[in-house]
Amino acid sequence: MSQKGTQSIQFDEAPYIISSASIVGTKEGEGPLGKLFDVVGADDLFGENTWEEAESTLQKEAAALAMGKAKLAKEDIRYLFAGDLLGQSIATTFGLMELNIPLFGLYGACSTAGESLSLAAMAVAAGFGEQVLAVTSSHFASAEKQFRFPLEYANQRPLSATWTVTGSGAFVVGKRKTKARITGITTGKVVDYGIKDSMNMGAAMAPAACDTIYRNLVDFGRSPQDYDKIITGDLGYVGQEILIRLLREKGFDISGQHMDCGIEIFDRETQDTHSGGSGCGCSAVTLSAYLLPKLEKGEYQRILFVPTGALLSTVSFHEGKSVPGIAHGVVIEHA
Amino acid sequence: MSQKGTQSIQFDEAPYIISSASIVGTKEGEGPLGKLFDVVGADDLFGENTWEEAESTLQKEAAALAMGKAKLAKEDIRYLFAGDLLGQSIATTFGLMELNIPLFGLYGACSTAGESLSLAAMAVAAGFGEQVLAVTSSHFASAEKQFRFPLEYANQRPLSATWTVTGSGAFVVGKRKTKARITGITTGKVVDYGIKDSMNMGAAMAPAACDTIYRNLVDFGRSPQDYDKIITGDLGYVGQEILIRLLREKGFDISGQHMDCGIEIFDRETQDTHSGGSGCGCSAVTLSAYLLPKLEKGEYQRILFVPTGALLSTVSFHEGKSVPGIAHGVVIEHA
C-alpha cells in the first residue's frame, strides 16, 4: 500500500525523471535563468502565424527535445499527460497530435505541470507504462487574449498582476534509472478564499499552495527542513508573502525553504513583470532548466515542487465568481 | 504486467463500478430514456442564476447521489477525476469544490466520461485509492454560449449538428464487489481527418472512434462479437454511418453491435435534435441510467464504452483549424 495520510502517495518503486526539456520566449531568455533553457525562441511566434499555433509549437518542440535527450522514439512513449491554459486545451491538441501517442488531456490551470507529473508517476509506478511523457505550456500572448485583453489594447497592469511565461516544459518519466526520482505526490483540492480579483492571482492561489504543502508535511510526517527547497509555481511576490504567513498560522515556517518559479524566472528590477511570472510553462521550464540540474548534481537532496493554479475563466469572472486555487505537490529526490 | 498491445490495459485486479448516478434536464427527461434517470430537473437552471452555475449544480448533485447510493461519505473518496466542456473547466471547479476531495481536472471534450473512468480505474487497480469518483457534465445552454451562439440569437442549426445534453453522470469506482467491473481500457490518440465544420462533429469524431475501437479489438485479440454492445458517446446519425464504414475498411463489421448514446437519448422524430445528442453528459448519463443496469442484470455480459470528443475551441475554429477527435474506450463486464 502506497497511500500516505489523507491525500498523498509514496511510491514503493519510485519512477525516475529520465529526461526533460525547456523552450521559452525572448523575455524569458533575457531573464535570470535565460542561459539555462534548452531553446530560446528568436521571436515569440516561433515561426507560426498565430499565438495559439506558437504555443502548440512550444509543446511539440519540448516533447521532441525531451524524447531526444532520453534517446527514445515516440513509439517508446506509452502515454501523454498534457495540458495548457487555453479554452478546450487547444495548444495541447494541435501541439501533440502528430506524436500519435495516447493522450490524457488535463486541466489544472497553472498547476498542470504538477498534475501531469503526478499522473505520469502514478502510471509508471503502477506498471501501466515503461515511459510516459508529461508536457505543459503557456504563452504570454495567447493567455492575455484568453484571460485579459488583446495585446493591441496596451492596457495597464496592476502591480499584483503576474506575467504569463512563454514556454513549455516536457518530462519523460519512466523506469530507467537516473539521478532524479519522483518519490511521492500530494494531490491538491480546490481551495476558495473568495478572492475575486483576477489581477491578483498570487493571493487567490496562496491558500491552495498552503493547503497542499501542509498536507504534504503532515502526510509524510516531515518538517520544512526535510526539503532543501519547497517550490511553488507562480505565486509571485504577493502570493509568497501570503503563503508564508498562512503556513506559519498552521505551525510551519517555510521561509527558509520557499522558492517561487514566478519570482526566479524574471528580474524584478529590470523586466517590469510586476509580481513575477505565471502560467503552466513557468513552473515546468524552471523545474527542467534550473531545479532538476541542481537535484541531479546532489546540490538538492529532496525538493517539494508545488505548481499552483488559479481556476477561473473570463465567463466565471464576468459572472462575479471567485477565483479558487489548486496546487499539486510532487516530491523529487536525488537518486 | 497489465499492458495489452500498443495502447490498452487489462486490469489484473479489475476495479468495480460501485455506484453511479444521473441527473438531466427537461428535454432529456422527455426523451426515450427519460424514466430511467435518477433526477430530471424541473427547469434547466436547477435553481441557479446562470447556465454555468446550473451545470455546476448538476455535477454536485450527481456526485452526491452516486456517493449516497454507495453509502459512502466524501471522506471515503480518495480522488476526483472530473471535467466538462467549458473553457477552464469552470463547471467542475465550482461544482465539486465543496466536496473537498483531491481533484485531477481533465479535458477530453465529450470523451471526458471515458477518460475519467479510465484514470479512475487505473488509480483503483494500482492501489492508489479504495474508492474514487469520476464525474462529467455538459449543459445545452452553457455549451451553446461557449461554442456557438447565445440562445437568444435563435440561430438555425444544420441537420448534421448535434444537441448538447444537459446532464451529469457520476461513478464511484472502487474495490468493493458489485455486478459491474472495468476490466480494461484503450486510451485514445488525437486523430485529425481535417474536418473543419464545427456543426458536423459526428464526422470529426468518427475517425477517432474508429481508431480506438480498432486498437481495442486488436490489442485484446477480440472480434466485435465479443462485445454485446460497442457504444460510442455522441457520433449521432451522421457519425455512426462514417464509423461503421471506416471500421469495415479496416476489416471489422460492428454494425450488429454498435450503439450511440447520442442516438439513444433523444427521439429523432419528435425531439428535433437533428443528428442526436452530444456533450460529456450524454455518454455519462446514458451509461449510468441505461447501460449499466442492463449489464448488472446480465443482459449484457461485456460492453465497450467509447465516449468521443471533438477537440475544438471557438479560437481554433475562427483561426481556420480543423476539428480533431479523440475517443477513450472502457471495457465493462458483468461480474
- Tell me, what's the ipTM? 0.97
Q: What is the DSSP letter of A250?
A: T
pLDDT, block means (10 residues), chain B with 335 residues: 90 97 97 98 95 97 98 98 96 96 97 98 97 97 87 81 95 98 98 89 94 98 98 95 97 98 95 91 98 98 97 92 96 97
DSSP 8-state class, residue B191: B
Chain B contacts of A122, Cβ < 8 Å?
122-123, 126, 128
A16-24 and A167-174 strand pairing: antiparallel
CB contact under 8 A, B103 and A190: yes
Question: Are B104 and A125 inside 8 Å of each other by CB?
Answer: no
The residue in chain A having the minimum alpha-carbon distance to the alpha carbon of residue B1 is A127
Contact indicator for A328, A185 with CB cutoff of 8 Å: yes
Of B107, B129, B189, the CB nearest to A88: B107
Chain A contact present for B101, CB below 8 A: yes
Are residues A326 and B1, on separate chains, in Cβ contact within 8 Å?
no
Contact A107 B83 (CB under 8 A): yes
Element containing residue A319 per DSSP (H, E): none
The Cα–Cα gap between A108 and B244 comes to 36
What are residue B166's phi and psi, to 5 degrees?
-90, 110
What is chain A's pLDDT, residue by residue, as a tens digit (335 residues)? 589 999 999 999 999 999 999 999 999 999 999 999 999 999 999 999 999 999 999 999 999 999 999 999 999 999 999 999 999 999 999 999 999 999 999 999 999 999 999 999 999 999 999 999 999 999 999 998 888 877 877 778 888 888 999 999 999 999 999 999 999 999 999 999 998 888 888 899 999 999 999 999 999 999 999 999 999 999 999 999 999 999 999 999 999 999 999 999 999 999 988 889 999 999 999 999 999 999 999 999 999 999 999 999 999 999 999 999 999 999 999 99
Q: Is A54 on the interface with B (CB under 8 A)?
A: no
Distance CA A318, CA B87 (A): 13
Grid cell, residue B280, equals 460529456
Q: Nearest-CA distance from B86 to chain A in Å?
A: 7
Q: A289 to chain B nearest CA, in Å?
A: 26
Residues constituting chain B = 335
Interchain pair A96, B190: CB under 8 A: yes
Interface membership of B158 toward A (CB under 8 Å): no
Chain A residues in contact with B104 by the CB 8 A cut-off are: 106, 108, 115, 118-119, 187
Q: CA B277, CA B167: separation in Å to the nearest integer?
A: 11
CA distance linking residue A66 with residue A132, whole number of Å: 11
Q: Which of B168, B157, B214, B160 is nearest to B323 (CA)?
A: B160
Tell me which amino acid residue A269 is. Answer: E
Angstroms from A91 CA to nearest CA on chain B: 9
A199 phi-psi bin (left φ>0, alpha ψ -120 to 50, beta other) = alpha
By the 8 A CB rule, do A306 and A209 touch? Answer: yes
Nearest CB partner across the interface for A102, out of B2, B100, B189:
B189
For the stretch A85-94, pLDDT in tens is 999 999 999 9
Q: How far apart are CA B216 and CA B27, in angstroms?
A: 34
Whether B145 and A127 have beta carbons less than 8 Å apart is answered as no
Where residue A100 falls (left for φ over 0; alpha for ψ -120 to 50; beta otherwise) is: left
Residue B198, all three cell numbers: 464545427
Cell of B56: 455546476
Asked if the C-beta of A203 comes within 8 angstroms of chain B's C-beta atoms, the answer is: no
Task: From chain A, pick out residues whose CB is under 8 angstroms from the CB of B145.
Answer: 315
| pLDDT confidence of residue A1 | 52
A-contacting residues in B 117-146 (Cβ below 8 Å): 118-119, 122-123, 125-129, 145-146
B contacts of A83 (beta carbons < 8 Å): 107
The dihedral through the CA atoms of A21, A26, A27, A31 has a sign that is positive
Spatial separation of the C-alpha atoms in residues B243 and B306, rounded to whole Å: 12
